[in-house]
Amino acid sequence: MSCSSTIKDINYVTFDNTFSNGEKFVLLSCMSSYDKKIHISDFMVKELTSNINSSGLEFNKKIMASIKVNTQDGINMLTSMQMVPTNYISSNISNSQVENYKSAILRDFCIKLKE
């Protein structure tokens, strides 16, 4: 099955403009068996950091996200979080790593939507 046919067959799932095409693809690829009309909107991602030692050289980062889901049953907000392993101030997390964590969050949203 090609990517274009997967997305084409799922026309009852719609998005607002807060999602990139890549983010839509991640959600659509795991929602292939979803059979209800749904509109997903307000995708918001926040990155939070906190020091884990007194000198501030090591820190934890949390990537949190939320979406609004509008179905015939009503409107719900879903949230998810990924904890990034300890970082050192001299080695910031790369953008590609952040994208990997966002994809994991989107897959978590798929699981929650199927419940």
pLDDT of residue 3: 46
**Confidence class for position 97, pLDDT limits 50, 70, 90:** confident
Please, what are the domains in the chain?
3-114 (3.30.160.150)
Structure-model confidence comparison of residues 31 and 44, the more confident one: 44
C-alpha 110/C-alpha 115 separation (Å) is 9
Tokens found for residue 113:
């939507």
Percentage of the chain lying above the pLDDT 70 cut: 74
pLDDT in tens, 38-74: 999 999 999 887 766 666 566 777 899 999 999 988 9
Write down the H helix ranges in 3-89. Answer: 3-8, 21-29
Q: Are 34 and 58 in contact (CB under 8 A)?
A: no
Nearest to 21 by CA among 36, 4, 34, 38: 4
pLDDT at 7: 44
Block residue for tokens 């101030």:
89
pLDDT value of residue 55? 65
Q: What is the pLDDT of residue 34?
A: 75
Query: What integer pLDDT is reported at residue 4 of this predicted model?
Result: 46
Over range 8-21, report the average pLDDT.
Answer: 82
For residue 103, what are its two tokens? 């994809």
